[in-house]
Structure 1
Amino acid sequence: MAETAVDLNRDGQASKDLLKEIPDLSLSAGQLILLIQNNVKLFEQFWPQAYVTQDYRQSSPDSLLLQGYADQIMPRYFSFDKSITRLVVEPGPAAAADGGRFPAPEEVKLEGNEQIRVVVNRLLFTRQGWRLVRVTTWYKRYTIIT
């Protein structure tokens, strides 16, 4: 869910429901992986990142063309807060260099035993160009023990 309504699929209807706005979102890996091994804690959130090109024959916002989406992941170290209900995710050295395309979450909260809420300020591609939007994603627990 987006904090503000956006029209990413260019159908003229802005929505906060990103499952409606990003067709590839329901096809993406849609995964949040928390890997804890040998005292190392990694946070990995898959997210479909928009890729665009520019039609240099035009100078309007329509000159930017959405080419599609590709799942991206940026692993980051994390720790638990004292109450063990929130994850503190480190931005990492790449955060300043990637232009905001792969942001670290501002909040990761464990909600009961079965759900994690992740809040991230994401750059989303709209008809007017890139727009920073606060996005909340909920993940349901699925555990694999190997």
Structure 2
Amino acid sequence: MKRLMNILVLLAGLMTAMLVQAADMEVNTPAITGLKGSMKARHGQLAGFYASGAVGFTRDGLITVRDANTVPLAQRQSVNTLVAAENNDRNALYKEIANANGHPEWEAEVRSTFAQRWIQKAPAGWYYQDASGWVKK
């Protein structure tokens, strides 16, 4: 019985993964357009912090201040505010994409897909988290 339950759980996970792969990650709604615009505008302010290693990508599709010591004291509050705003938009984006696909329950999978995309698109020298910790790309 336990083995059957394990097999059913595995099959359910595979089916969810297959459905999410079929999800339209490029779906567009007014809310998604607004979030992407906000993130694009903010990216110019964050790019230098990514490049310096001060800010990095987390495993869960967000960003974090990785090394505050690389940020001048006068800019630390600004960086924290930028990171918080970016994470708010990222969380909202994942939710909106799942909802626009008609499957709000896919939010975690959408987040995971985007987490991988952010890392893949990051230039060399930027930091991201993997299961073992911080990695410089």
- Give the number of the structure whose residues are more often strand, by fraction: 1
What is the TM-score with the length of structure 2 in the denominator?
A: 0.26
Give the TM-score normalised by the residue count of structure 1. Answer: 0.25
